[in-house]
Chain A
Amino acid sequence: MLERLTPFLWLLFSAGGTVAALLFPAHLLLTGLAFPLGWLEPPSHEVLLTLLRHPLTRLYVLALISLPLFHGAHRFRYTLYDGLQLKHLTALIAALCYGAALAGTALAAQALWSIPG
């Protein structure tokens, strides 16, 4: 089954890698450093809620979370194989990596669509 999914997993890997490369530096610099360190004023709860009420923003945020999760899962899977030489645990590692990405996607979708429209 893993074999048949492989082309699709590589597709998710490159989509997620592109999303992470284009958007994560800006989001991380703002949310992770500039806001908590007080360099810039974080957006108010109201502003974020207004943004998230728009269906396009919800799709954007879902893609922003889900695709990089699959990218990370895929790359980390191969890091474990090559770096730690865990080739004999293929099925277990794949299940844990992609399972975590799926769970994150479900949690994101649930939160996004729980926001009243």
Chain B
Amino acid sequence: MSSAARYTPYHPRWHRRRVSVWWWLEKGSYTVFVLRELTSVAVAFFAVVTLGLVRAVAAGPEAYQRFLARLGTPLFLSLHVVAFLFVLFHAITWFNLAPKAMVVRIKGKRVPDAIVAGLNYGAWLVLSGAVAFFLLRG
């Protein structure tokens, strides 16, 4: 600390406009931003459900049956409908942002955004098919 800096014991009053906690309802694009951020809750929720499923399978056939029965309750079904919509919203916004987050160049030329996003959607389709194949064949 240089001795040149002298602080007064009185704190100045900052000029700061108070922002409401509901600032994100003022404009459509803000609302979309906050809804996209809230997809994190749905993603974490379904990760926890998957964790529960794995623990039930590891615990044995009865635990697995109990877990399946719980998934069929109105509470879980309605939570899953909402979570599915949010997860879809996450996936679509994620793929559409991919070309901007990761610029791909081939021979010095930038690969068009539509192709990068298209590859993401293609991978989504293939992997969804693979998940369905493994879970439905037995």
Q: Which residues on A are within 8 Å of B, measured CB to CB? A: 14, 16-18, 20-33, 35-37, 40-49, 51-52, 61, 64-66, 68-69, 71-76, 78-79, 82-85, 100, 104, 107-108, 111-112, 114-115
User: Chain B interface secondary structure, helix, strand, loop or mixed?
Assistant: helix
Chain B nearest CB, measured from A1 CB (Å): 23
Q: Which range contains the number of B residues in contact with the other chain?
A: 35 or more
A41–B86 CA distance with the chains assembled, in angstroms: 25
- Contacting A at CB under 8 A, from B27-45, are 34, 37-41, 43-44
Interface residues of B (CB under 8 A from A): 19, 21, 24, 34, 37-41, 43-44, 46-51, 53-55, 57-58, 60-61, 64-65, 68, 71-72, 76-77, 80-81, 83-84, 87-88, 90-91, 94-95, 101, 120, 123-124, 127-128, 131-132, 134-138
